[in-house]
Each structure stands twice: as C-alpha cells, then as structure tokens.
Amino acid sequence: MTRLDLEAVRTAYRRQAASYDYMFGLVSRAGRRRAVAAVNTLPGDRVLEVGVGTGLALPYYTAGKRVTGIDLSTEMLARARARVASQGLTQVESLLERNAEATDFPNASFDIAVSMFVASVVPNPRALLAELRRVVRPGGHILFVNHFVAASGPRRAIEHGLAPLSRALGWHPDFAVSDLFGQDDPPGVTFSPVPPAGIFTLVHVRR
C-alpha cells in the first residue's frame, strides 16, 4: 500500500468539502449509524470522533455523550461547526483541527474513540491505532468503521486497480486489515460486517 502524506489528504478533502455530503453521505450512512449506535451503548461519556469531517455522524450521538471531534481539514470542520450550530447539537463539546496520528490530548482523555472511514486515509494507520490506544483510558473502547480490500474475487481486482489513484481519491481502495493491525488479529478485537452489502466493517477494539 502506497502511503498518503498529510498534504495529499488535505488537498483531497479541500476539493471534496462542498460535495462530500452528496457524494459520500448516502453510501456511508449505514456505517456511521452503526458505529454511533455502538458508541451510545458503551459505558462512559467522553467520546473522541476522529475524522469528524462535515459532522454527518454528530446528530446521532445521545445527549448523554460529550463529543470532541477532530479533523485535518479546515474546510470540512467549517461545515461541521455550521451543522452543530444549525441543529443545536449540545452533545458536541468541541471541534478541533488536529492530526489523528498526533492529537496532543493527554493520556486517557477519553472513554471511547471512534474512527469512521479514516484508517485508510491517514499516512500511517498503525500510528493512528497507537494514538487512539494512548488517549483512550484502560478499559475503554476504540471503534473503527472502514472499507477493507476483499480477500479474493472481482472486487479485489477492482480495488487493486484503483490503488494508483489513492492520492486523488484521498483514501486507499486496497487497504487491508493487516495495514492497521499487522498480520495477526490482536486479542480483544472483533469484526462485524455492516449491512446491507458488507462493503464496510465495524471493528471493536477493547482497550
């Protein structure tokens, strides 16, 4: 997998900010709702949403959660802030421009971290996982929703064929589970396909 750099990610999402909700909102909605529904059932109220984007998931958090959202894109965050203001989303405490691989939050700042469609965007997915393990308290939870490359078949060929376009797309079509976790699935991690098509997967890491 060819790594993206931070400026490539910023550029891709600067171009997509105005159209993101229309281009990706529908296809990603089931995954976002599934992830936030899982967050809402977990103990603890301090939630970090990594890669909050335009804030598509923010309305789904229950009022009892205290959500901090971070994103690398100034343009996407501006739209998220407008959404929070227009919908009166009091569960959202702050929206900050931060690097997901180096957030600058103190250790154990959150009970739950959720990363939706971000692991295949960051330059170093394992650094992202390590950072989330750092900022989530022991006994807390880390959730990912992401697309992972198919193990075989026509879809795998298509995903690998799109890989050279990674910089323009802003994500890796050929992103594999091993890019995030290494070759062996660590203990305490569960994988659940997201309906209807199972293109996305919900990953639950117990901290």
Domains and CATH numbers, the chain: 6-206 (3.40.50.150)
Quote the pLDDT of residue 55.
95
State the 10-residue block means of pLDDT for the chain, 207 residues long.
58 60 71 95 98 95 97 92 97 97 97 94 91 97 85 42 40 71 74 81 93
Q: How many whole angstroms separate alpha carbon 164 and alpha carbon 160?
A: 8
Q: How many whole angstroms separate alpha carbon 47 and alpha carbon 40?
A: 10
| Helix H or strand E segment including 26 | helix 20-41
- Name the amino acid, one letter, at 138: P
Quote the pLDDT of residue 11.
59
Structure tokens at 9: 């990610």
Q: Report the relative pairing of strands 46-50 and 189-194 from DSSP bridges.
A: unpaired
Structure pTM? 0.83
Smallest Cα–Cα separation from 180: which of 153, 207, 151, 145? 145
Quote the pLDDT of residue 71.
95
What's the distance, CA 16 to chain centroid?
16
Q: Is 132 helix (H, G, I), strand (E, B) or coil?
A: helix
Quote the pLDDT of residue 77.
95
- Name the amino acid, one letter, at 141: H
Which residues, 6 or more positions from 65, have their beta carbon under 8 angstroms from its beta carbon?
39, 40, 45, 47, 91
Quote the pLDDT of residue 134.
97
